[in-house]
Amino acid sequence: MLILSVSSGKNLELAHAFEAEAIAQGASVEHMALPELHLPLYDSLNHESGAGDGLLKLAQALRRHKGLLICAPEYNGSIPPVLSNAIAWLSVSTEDFRALFNGRPVALATHSGGGGQKVLIAMRLQLSHLGCTVLGRELLSTSQKAANPETITTLIRQLADLELAYGGVTE
């Protein structure tokens, strides 16, 4: 499974907790920190020049793994711009970008300074629109509410089970 952390700090820590649990459960896991890919801002004027090696690494990781777990904070009541930007770049980088999303099992998690529920809803809507199978259970943590270790365990188990059902690692 691919674990994607969408920010540094608490969501990166959360991604590491998921990664440790995946390893403990014997799952094949890869972690990518989306900000470290340094994708340029997508707009319709610059898409011809491409997004560089970072986008290639992300697309290759998506092709290698069926399961995807995203740890993202809530930004202004919605999806962080770095995640929206990556999805925009993916949508113009391949002949059939929906193949990167159709049927992909996805788990969602957040550590947010605010409520966090809005980013989970927004990601669920967008990823479902792209054809992903988003798990019903999700993880929401804040500075007042720590990440529930039982939820981390359950999400990894459910995602690993679905990943196997959908074909597992492809490379």
Measure CA of the first residue to CA of the last residue in the chain; give whole Å. Answer: 12
Q: Which CATH number is associated with domain 2-165?
A: 3.40.50.360
| pLDDT tens sequence for the chain (171 residues) | 999 999 989 999 999 999 999 999 999 999 999 999 999 999 877 666 778 899 999 999 999 999 999 999 999 999 999 999 999 999 888 777 888 999 999 999 999 988 899 999 999 999 999 999 999 999 999 999 999 999 999 999 999 999 888 775 554
Q: Say which residues have a Cβ less than 8 Å from residue 42's Cβ, sequence separation at least 6.
A: 51, 85, 88, 89, 92
Query: pTM (2 decimals)?
Result: 0.94
**What's the burial of 26, exposed, middle or buried (CB within 10 Å: 0-12/13-18/19+)?**
exposed
For residues 108 and 4, what is the distance between their CA atoms, to the nearest angstrom? 10
